[in-house]
Structure 1
Amino acid sequence: MPVGSENAPEDFALHRLSWPDFDELARAAGGARTVRQFRRAERSRRLLLLRGLVDVVAKVPDQCEPLPSPEDAWEILARVQARAPRVLDRILAHPYTGSWVGYTTRLFHHQTTGVCPLWVHVGHVHALAAAAAIHAGLPFRTSVPVWDGGAILPTIGMARLPADEPFSVADVHSDGERVQVRSGSTCVRLPNDRSAEAPGWWPLRHVSVRTRGQSFSVHLDDIDPYRGLHEPVLPQRLSTDEVDTWRALITDAWRLITEHLPEMAPALRAGLESLVPRPAVPFRMPSASTGEAFGSAIVSRPVDGFELAAMLVHEFQHIRLGGLLHFIRLREKDPRLRFHTPWRDDPRPLAGVLQGVYAFFGVTMFWRALAQRGSDRRAAFEFAYWRAGTWDTLQALRDDPALTTAGHRFVEGIAAELGPWQDEPVPADLAEQAVALIADHRAGWRIRHVRPDPDTVRAVSEAWLAGRQRLAGVRVADGRTPTPVSDGSWSQARLDLVRLSFVESADSASWSAVPDATPADLAYARGQLTEAARGYRTELDADPGRPASWTGLGLALSGLGAQAPARALLTCPELVRAVHRRIRTSAANAVAPDELADWIGRFLP
Structure 2
Amino acid sequence: MTTAVPAPVLRELARTEGGPRALDHLVHDQSTRRLLLLRALLDAVQDAPAARVGPGARQRMAEDWALLETAEQAGPRAGERVRALLLRPLTGPLIRHALAALTGPRTGQDAELTEALDHFSTLAATAAISAGVPFTARLTAYEGLLALPSLGALRTEGTAPRTVTAAFTGSALTLSPDGGGPVTVFPQPSYGAWSADAAWLPAYALPPLTPGADLVPLDDMSPYRQVPGPAHSSLSRAVTLDDHSRKRWYEAWSGTAALLALGGPHRTGEAVRLLRSVVPLQTPPGATTEGHPSGSCSGTRKEAFGVVLASVPPSPAGFAALLVHELQHAKLAALCELTPLHHASAEAVHFAPWRPDPRPFDGLLQGIYSHLALADWWQCYALAAEDGPARDHAWGEHARRREQVGAALPALVGSEDLTEQGRVLADGMVSAYLHLSRVEPPAGHLARARAYVDTARALWQQRRTRG
TM-score normalised by the chain length of structure 2 = 0.86
SS state of the match for residue 181, structure 1? strand
Structure 1: state its 5+ residue gaps: 4-15, 453-482, 484-605
Structure with max Cα Rg: 1
Taking the aligned partners of 2:115 and 2:394, their CA distance within structure 1 comes to 47
**1:372 is aligned to 2:383:** yes
Contact 1:361 1:390 in 2 (8 A): yes
Q: Cα gap change, 1:20/1:433 in structure 2, threshold over 3 Å: closer, same or farther?
A: same
Taking the aligned partners of 1:252 and 1:50, their CA distance within structure 2 comes to 38
**1:100 is aligned to 2:90:** no
Deviation track 1:543-569 (CA, whole Å, cap 9, x = no partner) reads xxxxxxxxxxxxxxxxxxxxxxxxxxx
Taking the aligned partners of 2:49 and 2:184, their CA distance within structure 1 comes to 34
Give the corresponding residue for 1:314.
325
Give the corresponding residue for 2:276.
273
SS state of the match for residue 226, structure 1? coil
Taking the aligned partners of 1:355 and 1:315, their CA distance within structure 2 comes to 10
Give the corresponding residue for 1:196.
194
* 2:156 paired residue among 161, 172, 184: 161
Give the corresponding residue for 2:400.
385
SS state of the match for residue 43, structure 1? helix
How far did 1:116 drift? Answer: 6.6
Give the corresponding residue for 2:79.
85
Taking the aligned partners of 1:77 and 1:184, their CA distance within structure 2 comes to 25
SS state of the match for residue 73, structure 2? helix
Give the corresponding residue for 1:238.
241
**1:300 is aligned to 2:304:** no
**1:362 is aligned to 2:373:** yes
SS state of the match for residue 277, structure 1? strand
Matches within 5 A, 1:178-577: 178-186=172-180, 187-193=182-188, 194-196=192-194, 198-209=197-208, 217-230=215-228, 236-281=239-284, 282=287, 284-332=295-343, 334-374=345-385, 375=387, 376-422=391-437, 424-448=439-463, 450-451=464-465
Q: Cα gap change, 1:354/1:146 in structure 2, threshold over 3 Å: closer, same or farther?
A: same
How far did 1:326 drift? Answer: 2.3
How far did 1:209 drift? Answer: 4.7
Cα RMSD of the aligned pairs, angstroms, is: 2.7
Q: Which is worse superposed, 298-307 or 235-244? A: 235-244
Q: Which amino acid in 2 is paired with 1:104?
A: A
Q: Which is worse superposed, 114-123 or 259-268? A: 114-123
Q: Cα gap change, 1:55/1:216 in structure 2, threshold over 3 Å: closer, same or farther?
A: closer
How far did 1:123 drift? Answer: 2.6
Q: Which amino acid in 1 is paired with 2:88?
A: H
How far did 1:122 drift? Answer: 2.9
Identity %: 26
**1:136 is aligned to 2:131:** yes
Taking the aligned partners of 2:17 and 2:439, their CA distance within structure 1 comes to 20
SS state of the match for residue 401, structure 1? coil
Taking the aligned partners of 1:234 and 1:119, their CA distance within structure 2 comes to 25
Contact 2:372 2:433 in 1 (8 A): yes
Give the corresponding residue for 2:39.
51
Q: Which amino acid in 2 is paired with 1:347?
A: P
* 2:104 paired residue among 92, 99, 110: 110
Taking the aligned partners of 1:254 and 1:105, their CA distance within structure 2 comes to 38
Q: Which is worse superposed, 121-130 or 379-388? A: 121-130
Give the corresponding residue for 2:291.
none
How far did 1:268 drift? Answer: 1.5
Give the corresponding residue for 2:60.
69
How far did 1:305 drift? Answer: 1.6
Contact 1:218 1:272 in 2 (8 A): yes
Q: Which amino acid in 2 is paired with 1:310?
A: A
SS state of the match for residue 136, structure 2? strand
Q: Which amino acid in 2 is paired with 1:451?
A: T
Q: Which amino acid in 1 is paired with 2:71?
A: V
SS state of the match for residue 186, structure 2? coil
How far did 1:311 drift? Answer: 0.5
* 1:175 paired residue among 169, 172, 183: 169
* 1:29 paired residue among 17, 21, 44: 17
Q: Which amino acid in 1 is paired with 2:123?
A: L
Contact 2:71 2:79 in 1 (8 A): yes
Q: Which amino acid in 2 is paired with 1:444?
A: L
Q: Cα gap change, 1:333/1:47 in structure 2, threshold over 3 Å: closer, same or farther?
A: farther
Deviation track 1:101-129 (CA, whole Å, cap 9, x = no partner) reads 22332333223657972211233211111
**1:151 is aligned to 2:146:** yes
Contact 1:97 1:293 in 2 (8 A): yes
Q: Which is worse superposed, 30-39 or 250-259? A: 30-39
Taking the aligned partners of 1:104 and 1:353, their CA distance within structure 2 comes to 32
Give the corresponding residue for 1:120.
115
SS state of the match for residue 335, structure 2? helix
How far did 1:329 drift? Answer: 1.1
Taking the aligned partners of 2:384 and 2:202, their CA distance within structure 1 comes to 41
Q: Cα gap change, 1:397/1:235 in structure 2, threshold over 3 Å: closer, same or farther?
A: closer
Contact 2:216 2:277 in 1 (8 A): yes
How far did 1:409 drift? Answer: 1.2
SS state of the match for residue 117, structure 1? helix
Q: Which amino acid in 2 is paired with 1:227?
A: R
How far did 1:214 drift? Answer: 8.0
Taking the aligned partners of 1:116 and 1:391, their CA distance within structure 2 comes to 50
Contact 2:2 2:340 in 1 (8 A): no
Taking the aligned partners of 1:175 and 1:330, their CA distance within structure 2 comes to 50
Q: Cα gap change, 1:363/1:100 in structure 2, threshold over 3 Å: closer, same or farther?
A: same
Taking the aligned partners of 1:47 and 1:25, their CA distance within structure 2 comes to 25
Q: Cα gap change, 1:230/1:26 in structure 2, threshold over 3 Å: closer, same or farther?
A: farther
Taking the aligned partners of 1:261 and 1:350, their CA distance within structure 2 comes to 29
Q: Cα gap change, 1:40/1:260 in structure 2, threshold over 3 Å: closer, same or farther?
A: closer
TM-score normalised by the chain length of structure 1 = 0.68
Deviation track 1:342-397 (CA, whole Å, cap 9, x = no partner) reads 22221111111111111111111111111222442111111110001012112211
Count of aligned residue pairs for this structure pair:
438
Q: Cα gap change, 1:394/1:195 in structure 2, threshold over 3 Å: closer, same or farther?
A: farther
